[in-house]
Amino acid sequence: MLQLLKKNSEKPGISLVPAWHPNFRNFERLPDTKVVRTSFFLNGVAVSVALALLLYVIRNEYNLYELSRSTEELQAQIDSDKPVSDRASAQYAKFVIEEKKLTELNDFKQTQLIPSQLLLQFGESISPGIKLASIDYQRAAVSVNVVIDGSPDEASGKATAYVEALRKFPPFAGMFESVVIDGLSRNSNNISLKLIMKFKAPTKGAKK
Query: Is the CB of residue 165 less than 8 Å from the CB of residue 124?
Result: no
Predicted structure pTM score:
0.40
Whether 86 and 127 map to the same domain: the answer is: no
Q: Is residue 35 part of a domain?
A: no
d(CA 126, CA 132): 8
Q: What is the pLDDT of residues 95-109, one digit of tens each?
A: 889 888 888 777 666
pLDDT at 5: 47
Q: Does 105 share its domain with 67?
A: yes
Supply the CATH number for residue 148's domain: 3.30.1360.100
Q: Does 13 map to a domain?
A: no
| Count of the separate structural domains present in the chain | 2
On whether both 136 and 192 belong to a single domain, the answer is yes
The more confident residue out of 22 and 113 is: 22
Same structural domain for residues 137 and 104? no
- Are residues 94 and 64 part of one domain? yes
| Structure confidence at residue 37 as a pLDDT band (50, 70, 90) | low
Q: Which domain holds residue 64?
A: 53-110
- Say if strands 130-137 and 176-186 run parallel, antiparallel, or are unpaired: unpaired
AA letter at 75: Q
For residues 173 and 142, membership in a common domain is answered with yes
Please indicate, yes or no, if residue 75 is contained in any of the structural domains: yes
| Model confidence band, residue 39 (pLDDT cutoffs 50, 70, 90) | low
CA distance 118 to 134: 12
Residue 19 lies in a domain: no
Beta partners for residue 132, in sequence order:
146
Q: Indicate whether 71 and 129 sit together in one domain.
A: no
Q: Is residue 207 predicted with pLDDT exceeding 50?
A: no
